[in-house]
Amino acid sequence: MKGMTSIVKKVSALISGLVFLYGCYIIFHGHLTPGGGFAGGTIIAGSFILLIIANGIQYFRLKKEKEESSLAEGAGILFFLLFAAGGLLLTAHVFFRNFLPYGTPGNLLSAGVIPLYNIFVGIEVAAGLLSIFLAFVIYKKED
Amino acid sequence: MLNYILCFVLFLVGLYGVLTRKNIIKIIIGLCIMEYSLNLFFIMIGYIKGGVAPIVDLSSSQNVKYVDPLPQAIVLTAIVIGLATTALLLAIAIKLYKKYKTFDIDKINNLKG
Amino acid sequence: MDSLIPLFVIIPLGIAFLIPLIWKLIPSVFKYLPATGILFLLVLAFYILIANGNETLIYKVGGWEPVKNVPIGIHLVVDGLAASMLIIINLIGFLAGIYAIPYMKKFTGENYFFVLFSLMVAGMNGVVITGDLFNMFVFLEISVISSYALVAFGSSKDELEASFKYQVLGGIASLLILFALAITYWYTSTLNMSDISHLLKQAPVNKVTIFIQLFLIAGFGLKAALIPFHAWLPDAHSSAPSPISAMLSGVLIKAIGIYALLRLFFNMFRVTYEISIIITLIGVLSMVIGVILAIGQWDMKRLFAYHSISQMGYVIMAAGIAMIILAKGGNRNIAILSLTGGLFHMFNHSVFKGLLFLNAGSVEYATGTRNLKDLGGLSEVLPVTSATSLGASLSISGIPPFNGFFSKLIIIIAAIEGRFYFLALLAVIVSIITLASFMKVQRYAFLDKLKKGGSNIKEVPFLMCFSMIILVILCLVMSLMAIPGIRETFLMPAVNSLISLKM
Amino acid sequence: MEVLLTMILIIMIAGSVFSLHAKDLLSAIVSYGIVGFSLVIAFLILKAPDLAIVQIVVETISLIIMISVLIISTGEDLSEKDMVKIKGKSYINVRNLYYILFSVVAAFLLVYFFILATGNLNPFGSHETRMATEYINNGVKDIGAINLVTGIVFDYRGYDTLGEATILFTAVMGVLAILRLKTHKQDL
């Protein structure tokens, strides 16, 4: 199959921006509305996958992307672990302590460290699923 | 009680698929169906009749009955475990297809004993 | 001392997440990272066992205190059994980690190997120290998923097929365990093990607990490759890279198979007569059929894999005998003696089976083949490997100075005292067959005359010899654990956490 | 509401049976999609919006990955020979009949044991929480998060979620390790 028609390419370019934005919304409002790090991360990965499917593989120089995405994934989860262990080292000597102030429940900056966990897990899930998809796609293209 | 039985039957259909199908992709599908039935089983256990989704809205009156949130946290983990095992199984399936040029498990029986 | 417990999981995970970021910067140094981290954990585990052998440490993750004595957070529980399991896991992990550094030079993608290796150790540590049911399942999944990828690391024809079969059966086992977990939550609507054991102690033994226990036996039996579910073990253990098959056979089937079975069936459920009969039956079957299947094998690692099944049969039979005596309310210290023999044999087995697989790995590294038929006379060319393999073969077949003899002796004595004469006889017969089959390995691989062109085989690198020598020394040193004086500090805390010695 | 759930379960069972017996792999994967997406509806009925979002996206990505595996292979299913060609006339493959007969009997037996065991557990919809009462009563006060499930996932049982993120990390490392192109250094 030569590749998608230009209509699909144009429409997917527009939509994937929206999907990416929606994923970020889900991550940042993880502690207020349903969803959270995992759901938002998958949605962001979905937006990148949509772009790659629509525009074909040679559109991106994908060999390098795969290394970066697994790099980003390692970084995402490393910060998640550091913050979790931070509770152990810094304040209350207890693993997974919620040491930031809670703020008033209901508005965006509340629930202490949970929004940060959401963001780190979101980065990790998005980069991880992207690496898996790239590994499958590149493997097929190479030989 | 009927819902629990049907969920267990779905689990058995998945197990049947894994044990009797010859095609690797169908074995993977059978395994995923077993994952899904267990996720549903866990949530059905935590459901309370007349309960509301576990999102606390502060404006409401106090005596609102919530569905049990613990199984939902557990199934969130179980879904991602299912995705992880499926991705690994499919990676092995691709490599097996590259080496044996077939998805049929009988023809792949290279190891003896 | 309490706040050190999470380190058992934080350090290996931290190393695993760090390697993908730094492996390009320090291409040769990152390989030593997992081994040093696990060495530190080994020292920590040793210190915990010595410092407070018999009392249990409870660590509340997140600092959530129980509300109206219903525990709400996840509790990490380290008692005697968990501490000795931690020592075994980190010991074999450290030695396999060192062994893997030169061994993995002929593979590409070494950074992936060491990431998955430290994740497997983190998973096993997590399973052993957790006190929460679903948390045990999550860490069990981490160690199992990384072992699937590690078995298929060489991606040759055999390894991919073995890994696929291993993953499908392992997946079914995990789902059976999750199903048993769901019904436990349905029955007790809590996940904390000590909380569940309080509830189950009060309630009479009814159909639900039997149903849950049957599914748990099926699930963990598949993980520990006991007889009705052993199909995947010979393929997976023989085609994995050698340091990984040493970890799989030495520690993985124990930490997530046997340990979980013992922990749940002794601490969580009440010991019932029917379940203990089933467990003893499975143990005896594995012991006998495992060794019979092993006789006809010519591939070294496949032969060792079948022997793992039969040695695990010893441990499960000893635990089953202890459960029967407890269920029938018989003499308590026979049950304690039998369980002591079982646990002692489990610890010994991980040491000498790990050594056997490392030997097979170095034979394969030096000569390129594992088939006994075309090996021969390696003792002149590979002095260290043949010496350590002789030590390991003697200890697995239970020859006095080595540790295998003492643990099998305790099991047989306990069986005789408990009036299970037939089981004791079977144990002796199986031990003799094991001795015969390992003499075959020694004769064909090491003692025969050297094959042509064998003179240019050179000894394996230093790091591999180093870990093999340490393991053979341990095979001798651990037999001291049978002496009453030393036994109290090393072996009895483990038994005490399953059957309390004081009553 | 309960009847709606029973209907969805029947659809899922039908979808899974068809997907296991489908002739070619693409229709097998598509009917596997039926099971996944009707699970999303079941989650919504059972008041679990978090899971519905995660499930619908995870299902889409696993379908994409499965079809990417399919594009490599020929796609038609080459194993299921239900009809055996003997001298031109086709008979039902007898071996398959034994399979189906045996599995139906085993299924009845297991379902019977399941009903026997879980008969007197509390029925559907009347679950009394023990560990979770604390989460519901003062979850917002303890953590400050309105979404209790996110509160549990990241604070009460945050250690689980650390394991969870590690599992995804392991799977990614495993896939990258298995699908690497050169596996052995040739210089040895």
Measured between CA atoms, the residue of chain A closest to residue B58 is: A106
Chain B to chain C, count of Cβ pairs less than 8 Å apart?
81
Which tokens in the block code for residue B79? Answer: 């879904």
Q: Is the CB of C10 less than 8 angstroms away from the CB of A95?
A: yes
**Residues in chain B within 8 Å Cβ distance of A33:** 55
> A15 — contact with chain D (CB < 8 Å)?
no
Which tokens in the block code for residue A94? Answer: 């207890």
Q: Is the CB of B89 less than 8 angstroms away from the CB of C171?
A: yes
Q: How far, rounded to the nearest angstrom, does the alpha carbon of residue C167 sit from its chain's CA centroid?
A: 18
pLDDT at D25: 85
**Residues in chain B within 8 Å Cβ distance of C148:** 88, 92
- The residue written with tokens 């006339």 in the block is D89
The dotted CATH code for B8-50+65-100 is 1.10.287.3510
Q: CA C74, C54, C396, C227 torsion: positive or negative?
A: negative
How many angstroms separate the CA atoms of B81 and C503, rounded?
42
Interface test with B, best of A139, A141, A142 (most B CBs within 10 A): A139
Structural contact between residues B35 and D35, judged by C-beta atoms closer than 8 angstroms: no
* Neighbors of chain A by Cβ distance (3+ pairs < 8 Å): B, C, D
> A46 — contact with chain D (CB < 8 Å)?
yes
How many angstroms separate the CA atoms of C155 and D184, rounded?
9
Nearest to B92 by CA among B79, B108, B112: B108
- D151-176 residue pLDDT tens: 888 888 888 888 888 898 899 888 88
CA C287 to chain B, closest CA, distance in angstroms equals 18
Q: Is the CB of D185 less than 8 angstroms away from the CB of C105?
A: yes
Q: Is the CB of A70 less than 8 angstroms away from the CB of C20?
A: yes
D103-110: list long-range contacts, CB under 8 Å, 24+ apart: D103/B12, D103/B16, D103/B20, D106/B12, D107/B9, D107/B12, D107/B16, D110/B8, D110/B12
User: What 3-state class would DSSP assign to D90?
Assistant: strand
Picking from D57, D71, D162, the nearest residue to A81 by CB comes out as: D162
Q: For residue C447, with 0-12 CB atoms within 10 Å meaning exposed, 13-18 middle and 19 or more buried, which class applies?
A: middle
Q: Which amino acid is at C503?
A: M
pLDDT band at A86 (very low <50, low <70, confident <90, very high): low
CA C477 to chain D, closest CA, distance in angstroms equals 36
Q: Is the CB of C155 less than 8 angstroms away from the CB of B95?
A: yes
Q: Is the CB of A136 less than 8 angstroms away from the CB of D162?
A: no
Picking from A35, A45, A112, the nearest residue to D50 by CB comes out as: A35
Per residue in B78-91, is it b (16+ CB within 10 Å) or e — as a string? bbbbbbbbbbbbbb
Longest Cα–Cα distance of chain D, Å, equals 77
* Neighbors of chain D by Cβ distance (3+ pairs < 8 Å): A, B, C
Using alpha carbons, list the distances in angstroms from residue C259 to C84, C346, C409.
Answer: 11, 10, 22
Structural contact between residues C304 and C378, judged by C-beta atoms closer than 8 angstroms: no
Q: Is the CB of D184 less than 8 angstroms away from the CB of C141?
A: no
Using DSSP bridges, classify how beta strands D83-86 and C75-78 pair: parallel, antiparallel or unpaired.
unpaired
Structural contact between residues C61 and C73, judged by C-beta atoms closer than 8 angstroms: yes
**Residues in chain B within 8 Å Cβ distance of D73:** 97, 103
> The complex's ipTM?
0.91
Geometric angle at alpha carbon A81, from A77 and A84, rounded to 5° = 140
Q: Enumerate the H helices of C64-205 as residue ranges.
A: 80-103, 110-129, 133-151, 157-188, 193-202
Nearest to C369 by CA among C301, C267, C318: C301
DSSP codes joined into one string, C167-194: HHHHHHHHHHHHHHHHHHHHHHS--BHH
> A64 — contact with chain C (CB < 8 Å)?
no
* Neighbors of chain C by Cβ distance (3+ pairs < 8 Å): A, B, D
CA D124 to chain C, closest CA, distance in angstroms equals 10
> A105 — contact with chain D (CB < 8 Å)?
yes
Q: Which amino acid is at D30?
A: V
**Residues in chain B within 8 Å Cβ distance of D28:** 25-26, 29
**Is residue C75 within a helix (H) or strand (E), and if so which, with residue range?**
strand C75-78
Q: How far, rounded to the nearest angstrom, does the alpha carbon of residue D184 sit from its chain's CA centroid?
A: 35
Task: Say how many CA atoms lie within 13 Å of C275 toward its Cβ.
Answer: 26
Using alpha carbons, list the distances in angstroms from residue C250 to A22, B55, C33, C85.
Answer: 48, 47, 22, 12
**Residues in chain C within 8 Å Cβ distance of A94:** 3, 60-63
Interface test with D, best of C107, C124, C195, C196 (most D CBs within 10 A): C107
Counting residues of chain D whose pLDDT is more than 90, the rounded percentage is 25
Picking from B18, B41, B77, the nearest residue to C168 by CB comes out as: B18
How many angstroms separate the CA atoms of C114 and C12, rounded?
11
CA C1 to chain A, closest CA, distance in angstroms equals 12
- C421-433 residue pLDDT tens: 888 899 999 999 9
CA A6 to chain C, closest CA, distance in angstroms equals 38
How many angstroms separate the CA atoms of B34 and B42, rounded?
12
Which tokens in the block code for residue D10? Answer: 């029947």
How many angstroms separate the CA atoms of C120 and B22, rounded?
31
- The residue written with tokens 């996940």 in the block is C191
Q: Which residues pair with D85 in a beta bridge?
A: D90
pTM across the whole model? 0.92
> A107 — contact with chain D (CB < 8 Å)?
no
Which tokens in the block code for residue C249? Answer: 């056979």
DSSP codes joined into one string, A13-80: HHHHHHHHHHHHHHHHTTTTSS--HHHHHHHHHHHHHHHHHHH-STTS-HHHHHHHHHHHHHHHHHHH
User: What 3-state class would DSSP assign to D19?
Assistant: helix
Nearest to C183 by CA among C145, C210, C154: C210
Counting residues of chain C whose pLDDT is more than 90, the rounded percentage is 23
**Residues in chain C within 8 Å Cβ distance of A73:** 20
Three-state helix/strand/coil letters over C376-410: CCHHHHCHHHHHHHHHHHHHHCCCCCCHHHHHHHH
C48 contacts: CB under 8 Å, gap ≥ 6: C1, C4, C57, C78, C83, C86
Q: Is D5 left (phi over 0), alpha (psi -120 to 50) or beta?
A: alpha
Structural contact between residues C118 and C143, judged by C-beta atoms closer than 8 angstroms: no
Structural contact between residues C348 and C332, judged by C-beta atoms closer than 8 angstroms: no
Picking from C105, C134, C183, the nearest residue to D118 by CB comes out as: C183
**Is residue B6 within a helix (H) or strand (E), and if so which, with residue range?**
helix B2-20
Which tokens in the block code for residue B52? Answer: 């509301």
Q: Is the CB of C134 less than 8 angstroms away from the CB of B77?
A: yes
Indicate the length of chain C as a whole number: 503
**Residues in chain B within 8 Å Cβ distance of D153:** 73, 76
> A50 — contact with chain D (CB < 8 Å)?
no
Q: CA C105, C111, C116, C122 torsion: positive or negative?
A: positive
pLDDT band at D188 (very low <50, low <70, confident <90, very high): very low
C-alpha torsion C234→C238→C243→C247, nearest 10: 0
Q: For residue D82, with 0-12 CB atoms within 10 Å meaning exposed, 13-18 middle and 19 or more buried, which class applies?
A: exposed
Geometric angle at alpha carbon D143, from D140 and D149, rounded to 5° = 70
What are the pLDDT tens digits along chain C (503 aa)? Answer: 677 888 888 889 888 888 887 877 878 788 888 889 999 999 999 888 888 777 888 888 777 788 777 888 888 888 888 999 999 999 999 999 999 988 888 888 888 899 999 999 999 999 999 888 999 999 999 999 999 999 988 878 888 888 998 999 999 999 999 999 999 998 888 888 888 888 888 877 788 888 999 999 999 999 888 887 888 888 888 888 889 989 988 888 888 889 999 989 888 888 888 889 999 999 999 999 988 888 888 888 888 889 989 999 999 999 999 999 988 888 888 888 899 889 999 999 999 899 999 988 888 888 877 777 777 777 777 888 888 888 888 888 888 888 888 888 889 999 898 888 888 899 999 999 999 988 888 888 777 777 766 667 777 788 888 888 998 888 888 888 878 877 777 788 888 888 877 65
- C314-324 residue pLDDT tens: 999 999 999 99
**Residues in chain D within 8 Å Cβ distance of C145:** 167, 170-171, 174
Average pLDDT over residues A24-29: 89
C-alpha torsion D133→D138→D142→D147, nearest 10: 80
C-alpha torsion A126→A132→A133→A137, nearest 10: 150
Interface test with D, best of B12, B74, B81 (most D CBs within 10 A): B12
Return residues 55-94 of A near B (CB < 8 Å). none
pLDDT band at A1 (very low <50, low <70, confident <90, very high): very low
How many angstroms separate the CA atoms of C465 and C458, rounded?
12
Nearest to A27 by CA among A15, A17, A16, A41: A41
How many angstroms separate the CA atoms of A88 and C6, rounded?
9
Q: Is the CB of D176 less than 8 angstroms away from the CB of A135?
A: yes
- In D58-137, which ranges are E strands? 83-86, 89-92
Q: Is the CB of D57 less than 8 angstroms away from the CB of A43?
A: yes
pLDDT at C40: 92
DSSP 8-state assignment for residue D84: E
**Residues in chain D within 8 Å Cβ distance of C189:** 127-132
Residue C453 CB coordination number (10 Å):
7
pLDDT at A92: 46
**Residues in chain B within 8 Å Cβ distance of A38:** 76, 80
D118-124: list long-range contacts, CB under 8 Å, 24+ apart: D118/B4, D118/C183, D118/C186, D118/C208, D118/C211, D119/B1, D119/C207, D121/C186, D121/C187, D121/C208, D122/C186, D123/B1, D124/B1, D124/B3, D124/B4, D124/B44, D124/B47, D124/D2
DSSP 8-state assignment for residue C240: S
Structural contact between residues C142 and D163, judged by C-beta atoms closer than 8 angstroms: yes
* Residue ranges covered by each domain of chain D: 1-79, 81-120, 129-182
Low-confidence ranges of chain B (pLDDT < 50): 113
Residue C373 CB coordination number (10 Å):
9
> B102 — contact with chain C (CB < 8 Å)?
no
Which tokens in the block code for residue C487? Answer: 């036994």
Q: Is the CB of B87 less than 8 angstroms away from the CB of D62?
A: yes
How many angstroms separate the CA atoms of D157 and D142, rounded?
13
pLDDT at C298: 82
* Neighbors of chain B by Cβ distance (3+ pairs < 8 Å): A, C, D
